[in-house]
Amino acid sequence: MPQVNVRTSSERLAFIDRAASIQGVSRTEFVLRSSEAAAIEALNECPIIALDDEAWDDFVTALDSPMEPDPAVKARYARRPQWDR
C-alpha cells in the first residue's frame, strides 16, 4: 500500500492530534479526511469539460456564430431612460 510521509514541527503535530482527538479519529484518519476534502475543493474550483470531436466542433461553431438578440432585451434598450422622460 502506498504511503505518504510528512515532516512537521511538534507544534503542528500537536495541533493536528488535538483536532483528531476532538473528532474521535486517529491522526492518520484525520489527515486523510482533511487532505481528501482539500483535494475535492481544489478539483471543484477548476472543472474540466471534455468534449468529443463533434461536440467540440459544435461548440466552436456556436462561439463563432453571431448571436441573435433577445427580443425582450432589444425592447428594453429601445425604451427611453427614465431620466430622459
CA distances from 11 to 26, 31, 38, 54 (A): 17, 15, 21, 55
CA distances from 31 to 24, 45, 58, 82 (A): 13, 21, 44, 59
Predicted confidence at residue 14, as pLDDT, reads 97
Give the mean pLDDT of 28-54: 95
pLDDT category at 44 given cuts 50, 70, 90 is very high
Q: Cα(5)–Cα(51) distance, rounded to whole angstroms?
A: 38
Is the pTM here over 0.75, yes or no? Answer: no
Cell of 39: 483535494
Total residue length of the chain:
85
Q: Cα(10)–Cα(3) distance, rounded to whole angstroms?
A: 21
| Contacts (Cβ under 8 Å, ≥6 apart) of 27 | 13, 16, 17, 20
- What percent of the chain has pLDDT above 90? 68
Summarised one tens digit per residue, pLDDT across range 52-69 is: 999 999 999 999 998 888
